């Protein structure tokens, strides 16, 4: 059985790495960035004394004070507007939108203002802003607190979009996002917060332009994002017992998207399955498929590229309906096996 491949930068001696949760890795990145640069500060609803809706910023107000860990009114437009304005004047804000669903209330500021300012001013003004937001289903939070809206922002020129799937990537990508002079939408899946993984101590970055192979395989390339990465790996371990080896590719950054790794993987395996939680129609998976069939991978495909994504429905509150609305491990196993065995 092929073993899961560690992220390139994480190949360090085990004695030099620690196991942190995804939430702890993000908190450590925030601490490192704020200790390193006094221009970095945070703003959002309940991020101070309360520690954030998911506890990610717990304790930071005690370390950095209320000036740098700023609780805001319940106004996503105000949060985004204040972050963009402060970024333009030389600060490096990290704004938090409590649930990705509520990012809809900040669209004018993010899309019409923040994304365009650097271009409209010929680079004389920059917007070094990171907007963190928890997304996704699986917590019983229903239709208004469970959406995956990343494809909206991939479509907007001037914005970068990041979706880490591991604690190592969460820390390194967040530090890279904070260093970046462009607005970055940093999407954290709620179910990943308690997952654990090896995270080196100290400051390191993961470039906002590199996909990664999370598990090597020979029979099928699975290009998955966010929570679907660990689900794809779990599916791969199940199928490995049946002699089917999946290669799991994680884009990590959706914009800019590095199609090279997925292309190389498909050239090796000859088959591809694209998996994401967001609804299929207009989802990021369509962009991945387009890159594969329009590029160097096309001549190596032995079967049509398949997409496995969320249903085109609002996320239900009912637990079983919620589960049925987005891909689960068994769905990935079924679709992957069908592709490998030619039953499609």
Task: For 83-122, write each residue's pLDDT tens digit.
Answer: 999 999 999 999 999 999 999 999 999 999 999 999 999 9
Report yes or no on 2 lying in a domain. Answer: no
Domain with 34, as residue range(s), is: 17-200
What is the distance between the alpha carbons of residues 245 and 196, in angstroms, rounded to a whole number?
A: 24
Shared domain for 227 and 143, answered yes or no, is no
Shared domain for 109 and 225, answered yes or no, is no
Q: Which of 166, 200, 234 is the last residue of a domain?
A: 200
CATH label of the domain that carries residue 130: 3.40.50.970
pTM for this structure?
0.94
Q: Is 330 a catalytic residue?
A: no
Shared domain for 88 and 161, answered yes or no, is yes
Report yes or no on 184 lying in a domain. Answer: yes
Q: Is 198 a catalytic residue?
A: no
The closest alpha carbon to 159, from 134, 133, 181, 188, belongs to 181
The sign of the CA dihedral 326, 331, 333, 337 is negative
Which stretches of the chain are DSSP H helices? Answer: 22-36, 60-64, 76-88, 107, 117-120, 150-154, 167-179, 228-240, 260-269, 284-294, 319-325, 329-341
Shared domain for 325 and 293, answered yes or no, is yes
Report yes or no on 207 lying in a domain. Answer: no
Q: Which of 200, 220, 242 is the last residue of a domain?
A: 200
pLDDT per residue, tens digit, the chain (344 aa), is: 333 434 444 444 444 678 999 999 999 999 999 999 999 999 999 999 999 999 999 999 999 999 999 999 999 999 999 999 999 999 999 999 999 999 999 999 999 999 999 999 999 999 999 999 999 999 999 999 999 999 999 999 999 999 999 999 999 999 999 999 999 999 999 999 999 999 999 999 999 999 999 999 999 999 999 999 999 999 999 999 999 999 999 999 999 999 999 999 999 999 999 999 999 999 999 999 999 999 999 999 999 999 999 999 999 999 999 999 999 999 999 999 999 998 76
Shared domain for 157 and 275, answered yes or no, is no
Annotated active-site residue in 96, 145, 287, 322: 145
Task: For 179-207, write each residue's pLDDT tens digit.
Answer: 999 999 999 999 999 999 999 999 999 99
Annotated active-site residue in 28, 45, 76, 277: 76
Shared domain for 148 and 241, answered yes or no, is no
Report yes or no on 6 lying in a domain. Answer: no
Shared domain for 224 and 196, answered yes or no, is no
């Amino acid at each position: 059985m092929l073993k899961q491949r560690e992220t390139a930068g994480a190949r360090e001696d085990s004695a030099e790495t620690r196991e942190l949760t995804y939430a702890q890795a993000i908190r450590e990145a925030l601490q490192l960035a704020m200790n390193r640069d006094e221009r970095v500060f945070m703003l959002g609803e309940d991020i101070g004394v309360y520690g954030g809706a998911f506890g990610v910023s717990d304790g930071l107000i005690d370390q950095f004070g209320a000036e740098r860990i700023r609780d805001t009114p319940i106004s996503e437009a105000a949060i985004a507007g204040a972050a963009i304005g402060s970024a333009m004047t030389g600060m490096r804000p990290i704004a938090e939108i409590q649930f990705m669903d509520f990012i809809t209330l900040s669209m004018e500021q993010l899309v019409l203002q923040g994304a365009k300012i650097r271009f409209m001013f010929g680079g004389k003004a920059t917007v070094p802003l990171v907007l963190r937001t928890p997304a996704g289903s699986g917590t019983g939070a229903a239709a208004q607190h469970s959406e995956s809206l990343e494809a909206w922002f991939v479509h907007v020129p001037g914005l970068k979009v990041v979706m880490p799937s591991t604690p190592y990537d969460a820390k390194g990508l967040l530090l890279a996002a904070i260093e970046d002079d462009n607005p970055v939408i940093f999407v954290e899946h709620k179910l990943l917060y308690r997952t654990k993984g090896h995270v080196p101590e100290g400051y390191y970055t993961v470039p906002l332009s590199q996909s990664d192979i999370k598990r090597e395989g020979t029979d099928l390339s699975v290009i998955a994002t966010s929570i679907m990465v660990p689900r794809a790996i779990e599916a791969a371990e199940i199928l490995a017992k049946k002699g089917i080896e999946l290669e799991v590719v994680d884009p990590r950054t959706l914009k800019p998207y590095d199609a090279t790794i997925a292309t190389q993987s498909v050239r090796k395996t000859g088959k591809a399955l694209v998996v994401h939680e967001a609804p299929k129609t207009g989802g990021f998976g369509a962009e991945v498929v387009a890159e594969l069939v329009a590029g160097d991978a096309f001549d190596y495909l032995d079967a049509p590229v398949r997409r496995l994504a969320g249903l085109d429905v609002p996320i239900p509150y009912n637990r079983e309906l919620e589960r049925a609305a987005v891909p689960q491990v068994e769905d990935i196993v079924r679709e992957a096996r069908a592709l490998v065995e030619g039953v499609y």
